[in-house]
Amino acid sequence: MLFQVGGQGARPTFFEMSAAQQLPASLRAALSYSFGVFALRRPSLHKVLDYEDEFFALLMSVLESHSLRTTDGSFSESLYGLRRRPVNVSVNRSNPGAESNVKVYDSALRKRQKTLSVVFLVVLPYFKSKLQSVYNKEREARLQASLWDQGEVRFDEAGFVSDQQGETSQAQVETTAGEVSHLTRLRTNFAALIGVCYPWIHATHEG
């Protein structure tokens, strides 16, 4: 599958790097759609869809760990014939006219580098996905507040919409016994913080 369009020798091309980066997202979308179709006939599969982030993170951790251990590359990188190589950069200060640094490539990744690779490939995307879900709920709550002109609306622990101005629905009053717990308030404040900070987090990550 290795193709060199505008590449230089054994160096990966931009298209290979872009395709390898987009493959996990495409794989997740395909798996989610497949499980959604199968869940129509097998209702038990809805439990997998309820924990979609955890299931996909577990699957990718197995695939990435195995791929890094056998091919020194991520799962998507190995499909395109790419591999990761550690590099030691030494600064040359004795001769000012020479190159500023010298790169020495090692043959294989060390165990610590493989562990960090799994963290960046699996753990960080998992937390980003959870923050995305919290941000989506917060945005839906704000949208509903703007449509109904009810002030600031937040999702509580049970998933119901709560009005911060003191006007709550009768169903919520019955479930919460008239007073929001301290833990729920912390979660509400955290959701509000994510609603403000997540766009900047997302822009920084994509940049």
- How confident is the model over 117-158, as pLDDT tens digits? 999 999 999 998 888 888 888 888 888 888 876 544 455 544
Assigned domain for 69 exists: yes
Nearest to 122 by CA among 75, 72, 61, 51: 61
Q: pLDDT at position 174, please? A: 47
- Domain encompassing residue 138: 12-86+106-147
* Mean pLDDT of all residues in 66-77: 90
Assigned domain for 185 exists: no
* Mean pLDDT of all residues in 153-174: 48
CB 56 within 8 A of CB 133: no
Q: How confident is the model at residue 183 (pLDDT cuts 50, 70, 90)?
A: confident
Q: pLDDT at position 1, please? A: 42
Nearest to 155 by CA among 192, 196, 199: 192
Give 11's DSSP letter.
Answer: S
Helix, coil or strand: residue 97: coil
Assigned domain for 190 exists: no
Number of domains in the chain: 1
Written as one string, the DSSP assignment of 127-192 is HHHHHHHHHHHHHHHHHHHHHHT-S-EEE-TTS-EEETTS---HHHHHHHTTS--HHHHHHHHHHH
Assigned domain for 174 exists: no
Assigned domain for 96 exists: no
Assigned domain for 184 exists: no
Global pTM value: 0.66
Assigned domain for 3 exists: no
**Is the model more confident about 65 or about 99?**
65
> Rounded to an integer, what distance in angstroms lies between the CA atom of residue 189 and that of residue 185?
6
> pLDDT for 17-69, tens place per residue?
888 888 998 999 999 898 888 888 888 888 878 888 899 999 999 999 999 99
Assigned domain for 196 exists: no
